[in-house]
Amino acid sequence: MFSQSWRLGESDNALNRFYFRLRSGVNRQLSEWLARNAFFGNDLMVLEAGCGLAEGSQMLASMPQVRLSVALDLDPEALKLAREQSSGVSLVRGDLFRLPFKPGAFDLVWNNSTFEHFHDRAKVIHEMIHVTKGGGRVFIGVPYRRGPLFFQRWIARTGLGEWIGPLFNERTLAIEMEGAGLTLEKSATFYFKIFIGCLVRKS
Query: For a pLDDT cut of 90, what percent of the chain falls above it?
Result: 79
User: What's the pLDDT tens digit per position in 152-166?
Assistant: 999 999 988 898 899
Q: What is the pLDDT of residues 70-94, one digit of tens each?
A: 999 999 999 999 999 878 999 999 9
Strand intervals (E) in 9-88: 44-49, 66-73
pLDDT tens digits along 110-133: 999 999 999 999 999 999 999 999
Q: Pick 180 or 50 by higher pLDDT.
A: 50
Res 4: pLDDT: 53
Quick check: 5 pLDDT over 60?
no
Q: Return the pLDDT at 8.
A: 47
In Å, what is the CA distance from 8 to each residue of 11, 15, 70? Answer: 8, 8, 25
- pLDDT, position 122: 93
Span 45-55, mean pLDDT?
A: 95
Average pLDDT rounded to a whole number, residues 176-203: 92
Q: Does the predicted model carry a pTM greater than 0.85? A: yes
Question: What value does the mean pLDDT of the chain take?
Answer: 90
Asked if the model's pLDDT at residue 18 lies above 90, the reply is no
Q: What is the 3-state secondary structure (H, E, C) of the chain?
A: CHHHHHHCCCCCHHHHHHHHHHHHHHHHHHHHHHHHHCCCCCCEEEEEECCCCCHHHHHHHCCCCEEEEEEEECCHHHHHHHHHHCCCEEEEECECCECCCCCCCEEEEEEECCHHHCCCHHHHHHHHHHCEEEEEEEEEEEEECCCCCHHHHHCCCCHHHHHHCCCECHHHHHHHHHCCCEEEEEEEEECCCCEEEEEEEEC
Q: Quick one: pLDDT at residue 178?
A: 86
